[in-house]
């Protein structure tokens, strides 16, 4: 805990100095995370700590949010344009290895015709469905501006929640006489896992309600 806390402090200092290497890493994490590489709360933990350590409206936090937003836009765009170019051929090919994928894409496609940007944002915030809207939007040739707006809305909404958690910890632990690192990091991981599991169970029930075999 102490080591991780010190590393996060160092990274936060680097961001405050506008270190291009650190911002580049955050940008890259935004890309690979949106493509589908598991990051295991790495980005969330860093943003949470920055909000706790220097405040939600600090330059550091704003730079992190911008770097992640741009990275997520690029990662989502890769999936969007690949699926838009290859169309149903891509879905059929991938569907042979992931039989549940075509059904989920079909479920998302039905929600893209009314308020598409908002629909993209809501589905992206659902655990386990981050990449599905990008594929569905590409296959249906959704207007790219709507897609970009949906990705931005989901990215900002997600980051605002993490920032507010950091702000809450900042006020909740300010009078703690002992080292706050174990409470801060352990509490965030546990709380984040609970929220993720709750959202996943809700979304799973919702998907199952759409008909047999949705999942």
Burial code (b: 16+ CB inside 10 Å, e: under 16) for 137-166 equals bbbbebeeebbbbbbbbbbeebbebbbebb
Distance CA 206, CA 168 (A): 31
pLDDT at residue 189 in the model: 64
Inter-residue contact 52 to 167 (CB < 8 Å)? yes
- Sequence-distant (6+) residues with CB within 8 A of 3 are none
Mean pLDDT of 134-157: 93
Q: Would you say 137 and 80 are in contact if contact means Cβ atoms under 8 Å apart?
A: yes
| Averaged pLDDT for residues 66-86 | 94
pLDDT score for 185? 58
Q: How confident is the model at residue 181 (pLDDT cuts 50, 70, 90)?
A: low
* pLDDT surpassing 50 at residue 53: yes
Residue-wise pLDDT tens digits, 192-202: 666 666 666 65
* Pairwise CA distance, residues 35 & 4, whole Å: 26
Determine the length of the chain: 215
Query: What's the pTM value of the predicted model, to 2 decimals?
Result: 0.77
Domain ranges of the chain: 2-208
Express each pLDDT in 3-52 by its tens digit: 445 555 555 555 554 567 778 888 999 999 999 888 877 788 888 888 87
């Amino acid at each position: 805990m102490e080591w991780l806390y010190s590393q996060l402090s160092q990274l936060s200092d680097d961001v405050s100095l506008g270190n291009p290497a650190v911002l580049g890493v955050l940008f890259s994490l935004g890309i690979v995370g949106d493509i589908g590489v598991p990051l295991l709360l790495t980005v969330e933990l860093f943003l949470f700590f920055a909000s706790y350590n220097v405040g939600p409206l600090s330059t550091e936090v704003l730079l992190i949010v911008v770097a992640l937003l741009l990275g997520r836009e690029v990662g989502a765009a890769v999936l969007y344009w690949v699926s838009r170019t290859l169309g149903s051929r891509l879905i059929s090919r991938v569907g042979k290895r992931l039989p549940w994928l075509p059904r989920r894409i079909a479920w998302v496609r039905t929600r893209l015709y009314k308020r598409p940007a908002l629909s993209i944002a809501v589905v992206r915030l659902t655990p386990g469905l981050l990449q599905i809207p990008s594929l569905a939007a590409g296959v249906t040739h959704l207007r790219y501006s709507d897609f970009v707006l949906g990705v931005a809305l989901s990215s900002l909404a997600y980051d605002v929640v993490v920032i507010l958690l950091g702000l809450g910890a900042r006020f909740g632990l300010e009078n703690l006489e002992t080292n706050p690192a174990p409470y801060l990091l352990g509490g965030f991981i546990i709380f984040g896992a609970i929220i993720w599991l709750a959202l996943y169970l809700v979304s799973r029930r919702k998907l199952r309600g759409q008909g047999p075999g949705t999942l």
